[in-house]
Amino acid sequence: MSSKEIWSTRHLIVHPFSEKYLESLYAMHGNPEVVHLWAPGIEYHDFASFASKITRRIAHRWDHYVVFEHKGSGCVSGFAYCYNGNRFNNITFMCVYLDLPLMGTVSCIEAAYAYLNNLFVVHDYRKVYAEVFAYNRRSIGLLEKGGFVLEGCLINHQLWRDVYWNQYIYGLDKERYQMMAGMKSKLIKRLLHG
């Protein structure tokens, strides 16, 4: 593992944030087809404003921000971060995103599991939450398969395509995570280590 690599999986190399990734991240954040999945209502009109806002968010609002690089292509293919962390209660919210070509692939599962594992094992969180809009059926399916439990719903919370959508809040505590990881240990080992 290189000093600039946090960890890797079978298909992904995970790096800490660096300004060298800004152009690739800008392309993802500027894509109106997918930006609504993790940042609805936030628009960046040019690279300079994006770079300023994203570096400020990483410094002051988001924790444990990482960038995913695809091993095959070497391209930046996604990112993950936490927000609204609370060390008194030892909880956080997470966002994991992989770009369009990798959506629905095994790389999505690898990225989500590796990041979740990092939060529970390395950072020792007690509970992790994920917020997802009702129209994002793919993410809802991944959360439920990963052991997350629906804990709440904000009714008619987000406007998208002229409709107000519910926002669901899923949670996974460390005990359930360990149980799920134990039940799927062979699959997880294969995903993360080839």
pLDDT digit string (tens) for the chain, length 194 residues: 344 667 788 888 999 999 999 999 988 887 777 776 766 666 677 899 889 988 998 999 999 999 999 888 889 999 999 999 999 999 999 999 888 777 777 778 888 888 998 999 999 999 999 999 999 898 898 888 888 999 999 999 988 889 999 999 999 999 999 888 776 666 555 555 54
Judged by phi (left if over 0) then psi (alpha if -120 to 50, else beta), residue 128 lies in beta
pTM over 0.75: yes
Burial, 22: exposed, middle or buried (Cβ in 10 Å; 0-12, 13-18, 19+)?
A: middle
Cα separation of 22 and 135, whole Å?
28
Q: What is the pLDDT of residue 189?
A: 59
| Integer angstrom CA distances of residue 104 from 33, 50, 167 | 15, 27, 21
Which domains are seen in the chain, by residue range?
7-193 (3.40.630.30)
